[in-house]
Amino acid sequence: MLNKRVEEAINAQINAEMWSAYLYLSMSAWCHANGNPGFGKWFEVQFQEEQDHAKILFNYIISRAGAVELKAIDEVPTQWNNLLDVLESTLAHEQKVTSLINNLYAIAQEEKDYATSSMLQWFIDEQVEEEENAQNIIDNLKMIKDNGYGLYMLDKELGTRTYTQASPLAGK
């Protein structure tokens, strides 16, 4: 049986992950509309991964005989100034998600819910990668500045990203 406070916090995190998915789908649309299909593809994979994050938490609540509560997903931004703005917004968002995961972990610790702490370890590691990925693209964009060929090559490279399930825990 899942502790009520922990259950509420995990349900809130499911909503945050679905909002992230929606944000990245919106960024994907912006990238396609602005002539960067490779970036669009990269964000589409990001959209799929965020749904996996929500699904891992969803499956976990069910495993613990808890109650899943799906809340409304808030509106997401649709406009950015340029690609650097999109990626800087991504990094800022991932830093925010990291703090949400940390808070969730702290709640699990306070409630002595060791199974939830253990499950959240995956998310803690995942956030390191998420922040690093966004930072790497920001670094590339800053190096390229307004070099058209550089941007063309980066767009091609990001377009090769393919989706693989974030964790088998998403597929149960």
Closer residue to Fe ion in complex, CB, 113/130: 130
- Among the listed ranges 12-20, 36-44, 65-73, 101-109, the one in contact with Fe ion (CB under 5 A) is 12-20
| Range 46-50, long-range pairs (CB < 8 A, 24+ positions) | 46/90, 47/21, 47/22, 48/21, 48/163, 49/163, 49/166, 50/17, 50/18, 50/20, 50/21, 50/24
Q: Which of residues 69-98 bind Fe ion (CB under 5 A)?
A: none
d(CA 57, CA 21): 14
Shortest distance, position 112 Cβ to Fe ion, whole Å:
25
- Contact with Fe ion (CB under 5 A): which of 88, 113, 130, 155? 130
Inter-residue contact 101 to 9 (CB < 8 Å): no
- Among the listed ranges 14-22, 76-84, 137-145, 162-170, the one in contact with Fe ion (CB under 5 A) is 14-22
Closer residue to Fe ion in complex, CB, 44/130: 130
